[in-house]
Copies of this chain bind each other. A is one copy, B any other.
Amino acid sequence: MELARIVARHSGMKLVAAVSDKWAGRSLGDMLPLGGMACDVRCVSQSEASSTFSGVGVVFLCTPAEVSIALAGEVLAAGARVVDLSGGFRLAAELYPRWYGFAHGRPDLLATAIYSMPEVTENSSALRTAGLVANPGCYSTASALAVLPLLRAGVIEREGLIIDAKSGTTGAGRKGNEEMSFSEVEGDFRAYRVLKHQHTPEIERALAMAGAGSAPVTFTAHLLPTRRGILATAYGRLRPGRTGTDAAAAVRSFVQSRPFLRAASPDAVRLQAVVGTNRALMGADADPDRTVAVGFAAIDNLVKGAAGQAVQNANLMLGWDETAGLDSLFGSMP
């Protein structure tokens, strides 16, 4: 839904088809407050999906990991390029059984996939020719942004990273179960999949790819009683001689010339400031007495953590400015 809304307003893109079993037969304009031609695009069911792939420039897959793995080859065979928003192409093949519970069915395609968090992995030339791009997960995006400035500037050690992340309910997708019902979630807060979350190896991979070395990360996900947004609070061991000033400077330096990143004081890194936008708000501080630095990053899980970043990746694949169609998004509150 979010992706359709962004693509429909993107002046360089034309939304030509939408696949959804749930909404099959309905036009996008019925379901979304869209203007323009995208209104009239009628959803087709997944069984008809293949017919929509040919002649299309980019297909965005917003499907479960196993479905993405099955569909990506079809899309590529039809001559289109793929941005996959699932976890289907994010890890090394050997990690799928442990973290996703299945063996990867297309290790050949996986080997060609480019994992791209534009501000972090910075492989824009590879993106230009890539057929298959793996769009990062929302937790991984927020987590990497919370720690990378501190790692790159040498403020913290690579070992002992701890990321305590909190997400709104839309991170779980749209579905009905008692656990995600309003009566259960409102007024509540808790962790989930403790020490077992499948974003843990993705974060480790993202940091390794970003040149930040290779070491295990401790990651905990929590469920916030709100719909949108992720805040990642990251703790690292302060390197000798480093201070809170160094930590804040590392963030300011990192956001330079990255149009979607903003530096702020830690108390101002908040969900309301990013919800509805493709922006990340970031901050950091350190306490030499406790030999610790704390980094924060806030994003909208559905935009910068999913659909917005997917469009950002598509922009780079197509050789466009990465902000095209994204710079004018804004949230529903200041």
Residues of A in contact with B (beta carbons under 8 Å apart): 1, 5, 9, 31-36, 160, 162, 164, 166, 169-170, 172, 174-195, 216-218, 220, 222, 224-229, 231, 233, 235, 237, 244, 266-277, 279, 285-287, 289-292, 294, 296, 298, 323, 327-334
Contact = CB atoms under 8 A, between A and B. Distances in A.
A272 B33 contact: no
A184 B271 CA distance: 10
A291 B215 CA distance: 12
A189 B332 contact: no
Contacts of A244: 195
A183 B227 contact: yes
Closest A-B pairs by Cβ, 9 of them: A190-B270, A176-B178, A35-B327, A176-B177, A182-B185, A194-B266, A164-B164, A216-B290, A188-B272
A193 B285 CA distance: 11
24 contacts: A5-B330, A32-B334, A33-B329, A162-B162, A162-B235, A175-B181, A181-B182, A182-B184, A182-B185, A182-B186, A187-B272, A187-B275, A188-B271, A189-B226, A190-B298, A191-B266, A191-B296, A195-B294, A216-B289, A218-B292, A220-B233, A224-B225, A227-B332, A275-B332
A179 B180 CA distance: 11
A225 B291 CA distance: 31
Contacts of A177: 176, 181
Of the listed residues A162, A177, A268, the one surrounded by the most CB atoms of chain B closer than 10 A to its CB is A162
Contacts of A160: 160, 237
A216 B271 CA distance: 30
